[in-house]
Amino acid sequence: MSGDLNILAVDTALSACGVAVRRADGTLFAETEPMERGQAERLMPMIMERLDAAGLTLRDIDAYAVANGPGTFTGLRVGLATIRALAQISGKPAYGIGSFDAIARALPDRPLCILIETKRSDYYVRAPGCDDACMSGEELKAIIRPDWTLAGDAVARARAELGLSNPAHELAFLPLDALVAGALSFTLSRARDHAGASPALPEPVYLRGADVSSARRKPARIV
């Protein structure tokens, strides 16, 4: 198997609803709409719009990708439920791509501290030398280094609340091409390994409360 795959990727993890269709010839048809709520009503229409733009139908899709967190609780469930259902109906593989992984793939070759919004006073954090975690502002400020680049949708809040002056890339939503690349990489890897059954359906990644300890097992990165 080469890279000639039709892939459907969705992101509802942050404050947006994003859909990308990657055609087998490599052409990407992507759209992201910023929104705090309403992803459940908008996601399927956006999927059909992007498929139509690509000249494809759901029957043509070879693999699915979905941002599986961390992110907003409701948003994560919308994207995951949709992709899980489509994968089960079609029998095609579906892959969960971590929010941290997607951002890291878009901003390589630099020490990166990724900050994702919790909608509370704390932050979802991935930082060099640290386990992925949910941190208070005080905990974050204690580990931050001046040479780290900040990235994610919680960057503006962190800079304002903690007085950080690090270089920054504020991302209100995830780069869809990174989700597509992750699904393509996983699919080709499975083909090379002659894997048989489809992978397990993607599950959400949470970093709060009782879920923090399980999240420290670190899902596989795509970067």
pLDDT digits (tens, 9 = 90+) for 100-159: 999 999 898 899 999 999 999 999 999 999 999 999 999 999 999 999 999 999 999 999
Q: What is the per-residue pLDDT for 197?
A: 65
Is the pLDDT confidence value at 212 over 70? no
In a domain, 2, yes or no: no
Q: Is the model's pLDDT at 222 over the cut of 70? A: no
Domain hosting residue 118, numbered range: 109-170
Residue 209 sits in a domain of what CATH number?
3.30.420.40
Same domain, 73 and 139: no
Residues 121 and 95 in one domain: no
- Statement to judge: residues 179 and 161 lie in one domain: no
Best CA proximity match to 155, nearest among 143, 165, 168, 142: 168
| Lowest-pLDDT choice from 60-74, 119-133, 173-187, 207-221 | 207-221
Q: Are residues 80 and 32 in the same domain?
A: yes
Please, which pLDDT band fits residue 195 given cuts at 50, 70 and 90? Answer: low
Amino acid at 109: D
Asked whether residue 76 falls in the same domain as residue 87, the answer is: yes
Contacts with 210 (C-beta within 8 Å, 6 or more apart), sequence order: none
Mean pLDDT score across all residues of the chain = 89
Task: Say how far apart CA 140 and CA 130 lie, in whole Å.
Answer: 11
The candidate with the shortest Cα–Cα distance to 26, out of 7, 10, 11, is 7
How confident is the model at residue 117, as a pLDDT? 94
Residue 142 resides in a domain: yes
Structure confidence at residue 109 (pLDDT): 87
Query: Which pLDDT score is estimated for 50?
Result: 98
Which amino acid makes up residue 24?
A: A
Do the Cβ atoms of 68 and 205 come closer than 8 Å?
yes
pLDDT (0 to 100) of residue 196: 61
User: Residues 93, 129: one domain?
Assistant: no
Residues 146, 125 within the same domain? yes
Are 73 and 142 part of one and the same domain? no
Q: Give the strands of the sheet with 7-11, arranged side by side.
A: 28-34, 16-22, 7-11, 63-67, 94-97
pLDDT digits (tens, 9 = 90+) for 7-38: 999 999 998 999 999 999 999 999 999 998 99
Does 223 reside within a domain?
no
Q: Are residues 58 and 156 in the same domain?
A: no
62 found inside a domain = yes
Is 97 in contact with 180 (CB distance < 8 Å)? Answer: no
Say yes or no: 22 and 130 in one domain: no
Rounded to the nearest angstrom, the gap between the alpha carbon of residue 14 and the centroid of all alpha carbons in its chain is: 9
Q: Assess whether 180 and 200 both reside in one domain.
A: yes
Shared domain check, 86 and 11: yes
- As for how many domains the chain has, the answer is 2
Question: What is the pTM assigned to this prediction?
Answer: 0.86
Does 79 reside within a domain? yes
Domain end point (choices 152, 170, 188): 170
**Is 220 part of any domain?**
no
> What does the block give as tokens for 156?
């503006």
At residue 213, does pLDDT exceed 70? no
**What share of the chain in percent tops pLDDT 70?**
89
Cβ neighbours, 10 Å, residue 195:
13
Say if 42 falls within a structural domain. yes
